[in-house]
Structure 1
């Protein structure tokens, strides 16, 4: 029985944690979750809360809940920030003059906070981080920001959710059911009126991880996660813009994951989008601005991997609040 438990711990540590960080479909509208360099990129306090149910229909499938908020420091608002400034002539973010007359944001600091609860089978994880970024004005058209996120990760194992032939097996009693690790992430972000690009690394500390003290060979680790993303805004006409983008994710020793995305926005009021994740899923997305304060987005993933035999797809919903939005700026769907 002890050998069986050790095997199970190895399976959990190495296989399940190959995807140690939650997977998101709507990261293209909240890149801040993956890259701390976006801290304070807006004039307002950008608050988001979301829930994701992955692979519905599969018992013990991942469930993720998160809240995040970030804001710029200082008393001066970023009047010329491309993400929040409107052409004075029309007030329309889709106006071609918006990009032609764009002025980059002045240099400033930004901070924020994230909390993510992720559960997959018997394993639960809570990540809490504080973030900081400095936004450098490269020239009149582009900013470059660099950011860091520091916090803790609490990982727990629910042994009561596991089934054994011998309920009182000594190996179960020696299981490590709760452990807390320091966490650190870094990133850079380049942005202008139409272009954005970024690189980030999560879990760079590579902390050791094990659910049993029976055998040191069961030791795993929290592996670094690498993200590279970029996108470009295409103005189709005065009312419609299309934003194609991509992301490459890599965690050793798993193969790289590639996402291709396309969002089409209409007058900064409603948008539709689609995403393709290589060897995993197709996704459909939609969202709208309820008011200058509130926006709501939803996505559904159609599983294309072998899991489609047992999965009914994945659902994700995100609520956004634009707090202290004194200039009545709509959400950033006009850009990203």
Structure 2
């Protein structure tokens, strides 16, 4: 019985860690910057809502599935005097502002919401988060932001979703009847520095302040703070083309550092294509385009590196987005 109990402890502990990290294991992680670092909430001067779906191990009938919905944007007070300007280069008005006036006009607040899940026949992990940020120009070309997020994590071990050899075990019988659920509330904080052609950020997640579980065996689980660093750059290749490399690194004391990287080529605000890589896990291709001024669609395919994963085909990911209040800021996208 002790062996079976230890098996469930290991399974549940691993699922608990997955609930904190795998929610963000997305090829197109740049589509939800606020989920990685709350300081990136509202980095664009428009609002965007995203809906995504990720199918892992597409060749397996027991493969985990992942999905998310998100919303983030910024609040600011536009200078109404800009409406009266009738010149070919409106940015000349901004150049004539004093540094104090420029900072006051461009400081803004960001607000974001995120919900994601990943599940299979054994476990289901849910995560919801609300984020806030404050953005302040340091100069005409560089901005700094700080943010915080409140996240709720839940891992549920499904009753009847697994089988063991000794089915008369009392712990197994109890799990079959009621399942086990672990809940955790965390605070996430972050900082970011960005300009017209770059961004860089650092965040700390899983700073837990509340834990709850329906089984006493999981009450004392150790929780490690996770550190995340992400950065990206836009290199103009021509008037219409931009090269956009970006990297994401996640680390905690429990697991080996995870490195995500991608390189995209973007043609104006119409379409993009690129390649991606996750260290020792997968590599893939991705593409996307903008349908009109508001609707966007992104797709990616990953081929797993591990022999077991590779035998179950790859991962498909689809992200549908909609942009609100985007007029006037079409040339200023940091992440898309």
TM-score (norm 2): 0.83
Give CA-to-partner distance per residue, 1:58-108, whole Å, 9 cap, x none.
45433211111112124438999xxxxxx96599xxxxxxxxxxx987111
Coordinate RMSD, CA, aligned: 3.0
Candidates 158, 180, 185, aligned match of 2:183: 180
The CA deviation at 1:296 is: 0.2
Matches within 5 A, 1:149-168: 149-167=149-167
- Structure 2 residue 279 is matched with structure 1 residue 258: no
Aligned-partner Cα distance in 2 for 1:125–1:70: 22
Aligned-partner Cα distance in 2 for 1:116–1:31: 14
User: Which has more helix, going by share of residues?
Assistant: 2
The CA deviation at 1:280 is: 0.9
- Aligned residue number for residue 98 of structure 2: none
Aligned-partner Cα distance in 1 for 2:322–2:29: 16
Matches within 5 A, 1:54-133: 54-58=56-60, 60-76=62-78, 106-133=106-133
Give CA-to-partner distance per residue, 1:6-27, whole Å, 9 cap, x none.
1221321344445442211101
The CA deviation at 1:259 is: 2.1
Aligned-partner Cα distance in 2 for 1:131–1:79: 31
- Aligned residue number for residue 83 of structure 1: none
Gaps of 5+ in 1: 81-86, 92-102
| Alpha carbons 1:292, 1:331 under 8 Å: kept | no
Closer/same/farther in 2, CA of residues 13 and 274 from structure 1, 3 Å limit? same
| Alpha carbons 1:53, 1:63 under 8 Å: kept | yes
Matches within 5 A, 1:12-27: 12-20=11-19, 21-22=21-22, 23-27=25-29
Residue aligned with 1:32, SS: helix
- Aligned residue number for residue 10 of structure 1: 9
| Alpha carbons 2:299, 2:318 under 8 Å: kept | yes
The CA deviation at 1:136 is: 1.5
The CA deviation at 1:122 is: 1.3
- Aligned residue number for residue 143 of structure 1: 143
- Aligned residue number for residue 99 of structure 2: none
Closer/same/farther in 2, CA of residues 233 and 122 from structure 1, 3 Å limit? same
| Alpha carbons 1:13, 1:220 under 8 Å: kept | no
The CA deviation at 1:266 is: 1.3
Aligned-partner Cα distance in 2 for 1:88–1:187: 39
Structure 1 stretch displaced more, 280-289 or 238-247: 238-247
| Alpha carbons 1:143, 1:192 under 8 Å: kept | yes
| Alpha carbons 1:206, 1:221 under 8 Å: kept | no
- Aligned residue number for residue 240 of structure 2: 239
The CA deviation at 1:227 is: 1.2
Matches within 5 A, 1:259-278: 259-278=260-279
Aligned-partner Cα distance in 1 for 2:119–2:286: 23
- Aligned residue number for residue 41 of structure 1: 43
Matches within 5 A, 1:189-268: 189-205=192-208, 212-213=215-216, 215=217, 219-268=220-269
Aligned-partner Cα distance in 2 for 1:288–1:331: 16
Matches within 5 A, 1:301-320: 301-320=302-321
| Alpha carbons 1:193, 1:335 under 8 Å: kept | no
Residue aligned with 1:205, SS: strand
